[in-house]
Amino acid sequence: MATRSNIIFSENGKPFVNIYRHWDGYPSAAGVELCEFLQSKTVVNGIGGDQQSVANGAGCLAAWFLATFKTEAGNYYINPLMPDSHQDNAFGYIVDVRQDGTIVSVWQGETLLFKGSVEDCLQFCKKD
């Protein structure tokens, strides 16, 4: 049985892409992978330096994520954005890129399980 999840990327509270993950959407799998990925990138405004460790804004970060994890047919899909689309599946993740840092929210259906920094989210997901 699949554990479905959505990963929504937003910038300053405005969602712009919804990535559907069909398998292993629970926090100890999808959440850990997402947070470890987010820790590996620094969001910047303009490209310079090590281009493998930076994302030029939130859109670049979302594209990096999909390029990293979409390795074969299935499992990851881009779905339409809909209000509260993180609630459509077993788990939902919202990655909100802000000027003061990235905030990650973890949902189970309509219940908010966690909201905070990438580092704190990683610790939360590892204890799942």
Q: What pLDDT score was predicted for residue 86? A: 61
- Sequence length of the chain is 128
Q: What pLDDT score was predicted for residue 49? A: 73
Q: Could you read off the pLDDT tens digit of each residue along the chain, which spans 128 residues?
A: 689 999 999 999 999 999 999 999 999 999 999 999 999 999 999 887 778 889 999 999 999 999 999 999 999 999 998 876 666 689 999 999 999 999 999 999 889 999 999 999 999 999 97
The burial of 106, by beta-carbon neighbours within 10 Å (0-12 exposed, 13-18 middle, 19 or more buried), is given as buried
Q: What pLDDT score was predicted for residue 51? A: 86
Q: What pLDDT score was predicted for residue 87? A: 64
Please give the Cα distance from 15 to 2 (Å, whole number): 25
